[in-house]
Amino acid sequence: MPLEYVSRIKPYVPGKPVKELERELGIKDSIKLASNENPLGPSQKALKALRDFLHNGSELSRYPEGEGYYLKSAISEKLSTGADEIILGNGSNELIDIAVRTFMGPGDEAIMAAPSFVVYSMTTSSVGAKSLEIPLTDYRHDLAAMADAITEKTKIVFIANPNNPTGTINKRNEFEKFMEKVPDGILIVVDEAYYEYVRDPEYPDTLKFFRDGRDVLILRTFSKAYGLAGLRIGYGIARKDIIAEMNKIREPFNTNTLAQLAAMNALTDDEHLEKTIEVNEQGKEFLYKELDFMGTAYVPTETNFIYMPLHVESKIIYDALLRMGVIVRPVGPREVRVTIGLPEENKRFIEALKIVIKSLSN
C-alpha cells in the first residue's frame, strides 16, 4: 500500500494531445496554445545533428554519455561556470524532484508561491515534507512574506522567476533584499524555465549569487525557447558540493543521447533563438492590442504565455474555445493561460475568443 502522504498527492494532469482531442470532439485543424511550446519548433542545427546521427543509427544501441560531459562542457563555457557546477535532467522537472529527494525528508518544509508551478508541492509531498504556500501579491511572488515564513524546518524555497502560470517576474532589487534575509543552509531553487524570454532590464542576475557561493540552485530548460520539449532536457547550476549531493540521487543515464545532442547544437544557434524571441514579442504586442480593444483582462507577461483572469468559470471558456479548435489551459477556477503562438494562431485565438465572449453576453 502507498504511504499516506503519497496517496494524498494529486497527479499532474497534462493537456491532451491534439489528435486525441480532435478525435473526441470530431474537429479538425485545431491549434494548441496550452503548453507554452515554441511555435517555431527546434533549431535547424539541432535537427540536422539528429538526422545525421540517426542516419547511421548504430550508436542507439549504446547507453547515453552518463554524465553528459559534452553538453555540460558547452553550457559551462557559455555561462563561464565549471562543468562540475552543472547537472543535467530529464527536463528541469526531474531536477526539482532530485533536489527535493536530496535535501528534504519527512517533517521538513518547503516554501513556495501560490499559484505557481504545481510540481513544487507534488515533489515536496512525495517525501513526506510540508508545502507552505504564500499567496501572490499583484500576481507576483511576495518575496518579503516568503522570507518571513522561513523557520528552522525550512529546507528549500522555490521561486519561479518568471512565474508559471502568471508570467510575472520579481525584479533585481526585491530579489537582492530577499537574499539578504535568507540564512545559510536553506536551498533557494530559482526556476528560470522562461529565462530566455525575459526583456525587463531589472530581471535579477541569479548567477551572481551562485558565484558568491550562496545556497542557490538555478534551473533552466531546453523545452521552451529552444523548442526541445519532446526530448526532455534541462539543467541546473549550483556550487559543486550541491551538485555532488544531487548526483548521488540522480538516476544513471537520466538524459538520453538524442536530447544531449540536440541541446548541444541548439546552444550554438543564436539566430534561431533571436527569431523565437522576435516572434514572441510580435505576438505579445498583437494579443495585448486585441485584448485591450476587447476590454478583456490579462496580466502583462515576461514569458511566451499570457495569464487571463476571467469573470466566468474557466471551464466555460476552455470548453467553448475547444469546440472551435483552439486549445488553451485552465489554470484556476476563473483563470486561463494561453501560449503566444504564430501570427495566424494568435489571430485565430482572438477571433474565437470574440465569438465566445459575445455568446456569453447574449
Domain termination residue (choose one: 243, 266, 289): 266
Query: Do 165 and 182 belong together in one domain?
Result: yes
327 shares its domain with 241: no
Closest-CA residue to 304 (of 158, 190, 189, 196)? 196
Angle at 174 between CA 172 and CA 175, to 5 degrees: 65
Q: Within a domain: residue 10?
A: no
Per-residue pLDDT, 9:
62
Task: Answer whether residue 71 is part of any domain.
Answer: yes
Task: Answer whether residue 151 is part of any domain.
Answer: yes
pLDDT(362) > 80: no
Buried b / exposed e across 121-134, counting CB within 10 Å, b at 16+? bbbbbbbebbbbbb
Please tell me whether residues 163 and 86 are part of one structural domain: yes
Instruction: Please give the residue range of the domain that contains residue 179.
Output: 45-266
Q: Structurally, how many domains does the chain consist of?
A: 2
**137 secondary structure, DSSP code:** B
d(CA 311, CA 336): 11
| 144 has pLDDT over 90 | yes
Please check whether residues 166 and 204 belong to one and the same domain. Answer: yes
The 3-state secondary structure of 22-59 reads HHHHCCCCCEECCCCCCCCCCCHHHHHHHHHHHHHCHH
pLDDT for residue 7: 64
**Same domain (yes/no): 280, 349:** yes
Confidence at residue 25, expressed as pLDDT on a 0 to 100 scale: 73
Determine, yes or no, domain membership for 312: yes
Give residue-wise pLDDT tens across range 62-117: 999 999 999 999 999 999 999 999 999 999 999 999 999 999 999 999 999 999 99
Return the biggest CA–CA distance within the chain.
62
- Regarding predicted confidence, which is higher, 159 or 5? 159
d(CA 231, CA 252): 17
In which band, very low, low, confident or very high, does the pLDDT at 195 lie, cut at 50, 70 and 90? very high
Residue 4 lies in a domain: no
Q: What is the pLDDT of residues 282-326, one digit of tens each?
A: 999 999 999 999 999 999 999 999 999 999 999 999 999 999 999
Predicted local confidence at residue 18, as pLDDT = 75
For the cut 90, the answer to whether the pLDDT of residue 225 exceeds it is yes
- Which pLDDT score, from 0 to 100, does residue 56 have? 81
Residue 172: how many CA atoms within 13 Å on its side-chain side?
9
Strand pairing category for 130-135 and 326-327:
unpaired
Query: Are 142 and 62 in a shared domain?
Result: yes
Q: Is residue 329 part of a domain?
A: yes
> Which one of 266, 291, 314 terminates a domain?
266
pLDDT band at 2 (very low <50, low <70, confident <90, very high): low
Domain boundary among 266, 287, 320: 266
Residues 34 and 54 in one domain: no
CATH number of the CATH domain containing 311: 3.90.1150.10
State the pLDDT at residue 28: 78
CATH number at 84 reads 3.40.640.10
In a domain, 6, yes or no: no
Report d(CA 6, CA 3) in Å as an integer.
Answer: 5
Q: Are residue 20 and residue 155 in the same domain, yes or no?
A: no
pLDDT grade for 16, boundaries at 50, 70 and 90: low
Distance CA 308, CA 331 (A): 9
Residue type, 205: D
Q: How far apart are CA 360 and CA 354, in angstroms?
A: 10
Give yes or no: residues 80 and 220 share one domain: yes
The residue count of the chain comes to 362
Query: Whose CA is closest to 221, among 38, 10, 33?
Result: 38
Residue 23 — very low, low, confident or very high, per pLDDT cuts 50/70/90?
confident
Cell of 159: 521561486
Same domain assignment for residues 95 and 165 = yes
Task: Indicate whether 2 belongs to any domain.
Answer: no
Residues 253 and 291 both lie in one domain: no
Give SS3 for 122.
helix
Task: Indicate the average pLDDT of the chain.
Answer: 94
Q: Does 52 share its domain with 173?
A: yes
Query: How distant is the alpha carbon of residue 203 from its chain centre?
Result: 17
Q: Report the distance separating Cα 128 and Cα 151, nearest Å.
A: 17
